[in-house]
């Protein structure tokens, strides 16, 4: 089956929304895609006839198994291109999203397999999100929200919850990126801000709002020699 750019954008958006909610609603999707509910309904009908969706009028919708496969293919392309842009063309990781939003629609299976090989089969994109393999399988690293990290536990930043340029600007300013190892040394109940320390640098605090968008993989410090493992 062949899909237009627009159909692909809808399928991918539904995929992301149903990760959180399972059942997706018309208005949710309209908001996500900056379009109107009426336009969404039109597309839902089309995607249903293409067997991409489970959808009954007024009842919400989810991707069919076939739809999920298509979605994972687009996500795969998006994240591989992002990896390419950052690691080969030296873009900043806060500059690549919108370009990948176009590149993900280039239709050529062999292109994406050769790109994957060229990049040495990366497992995560520059934002810490896992890259599905050719069969749609991807790492499910047990990452937790930074707000849930316990006091005095070391952890490695593994993903960010948004790609907004405002967020990425702030992270760059604070020198936090994917792979940064940090430790929470204090939590303030007044505003839920937390104080963290990176390496031997002076501690600094980050807001609850920022902590909520950061995901980390806890690191386990050996009791005997102090070495760090994941």
Partner DNA sequence: AATAGTTTTTAGATTTGCCTAAAAATAAAT
Partner DNA sequence: ATTTATTTTTAGGCAAATCTAAAAACTATT
Q: Exactly one of 101, 133, 156, 195 binds Mn ion (CB under 5 A); which one? A: 101
Distance CA 52, CA 107 (A): 18
Return the exposure string of 195-227: e unless at least 16 CB atoms fall within 10 Å of the residue's CB, then b. ebbbeeeeeebbeeebbebbbbbbeeeeeeeee
Positions that interact with a second copy (CB under 8 A): 85, 88-91, 95, 98-99, 102-103, 106-108, 110-111, 114-115, 118
Report the partner that residue 40 touches, choosing among Mn ion, DNA, a second copy, none (CB closer than 5 to 8 A by kind): DNA
Report the partner that residue 101 touches, choosing among a second copy, Mn ion, DNA, none (CB closer than 5 to 8 A by kind): Mn ion
Report the partner that residue 43 touches, choosing among a second copy, Mn ion, DNA, none (CB closer than 5 to 8 A by kind): DNA
Q: Does 51 bind DNA (CB under 7 A)?
A: no
Ordered alpha helix ranges (H), the chain:
5-21, 26-32, 37-49, 65-87, 97-103, 109-118, 165-174, 208-212
- Which pair of structure tokens corresponds to residue 126? 């520059």
Distance CA 74, CA 60 (A): 22
Q: Which is nearer to a second copy, 14 or 112 (CB)?
A: 112
Of 32-40, 75-83, 133-141, 180-188, which segment contacts DNA by CB under 7 A? Answer: 32-40
Distance CA 95, CA 193 (A): 28
Binding site residues, Mn ion, CB under 5 A: 9, 82, 101, 125, 127, 129
Binding site residues, DNA, CB under 7 A: 4-7, 25-28, 34-46, 55, 57-58, 60
């Amino acid at each position: 089956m062949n899909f237009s750019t627009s159909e692909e954008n809808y399928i991918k958006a539904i995929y992301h929304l149903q990760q959180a909610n399972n059942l997706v609603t018309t208005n949710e999707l309209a908001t996500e895609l900056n379009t109107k509910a009426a336009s969404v309904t039109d597309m839902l009908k089309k995607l249903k006839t293409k067997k991409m969706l489970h959808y009954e009028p007024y009842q919400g919708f989810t991707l069919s198994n076939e739809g999920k496969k298509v979605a994972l293919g687009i996500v795969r392309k998006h994240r591989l291109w992002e990896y390419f842009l950052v690691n080969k063309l030296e873009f900043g990781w806060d500059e690549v999203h919108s370009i990948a939003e176009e590149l993900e629609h280039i239709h050529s299976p062999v292109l994406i397999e050769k790109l994957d090989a060229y990049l040495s089969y990366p497992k995560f994109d520059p934002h810490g999100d896992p890259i599905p393999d050719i069969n749609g399988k991807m790492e499910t690293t047990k990452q937790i929200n930074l707000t849930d990290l316990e006091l005095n536990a070391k952890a490695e930043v593994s993903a960010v919850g948004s790609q907004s340029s405002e967020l990425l600007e702030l992270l760059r300013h604070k020198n936090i990126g994917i792979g940064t190892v940090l430790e929470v040394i204090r939590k303030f109940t007044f505003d839920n801000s937390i104080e963290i320390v990176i390496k031997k640098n002076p501690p600094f605090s980050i807001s609850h709002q920022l902590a909520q968008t950061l995901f980390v993989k806890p690191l386990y410090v050996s009791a005997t020699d102090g070495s760090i493992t994941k």
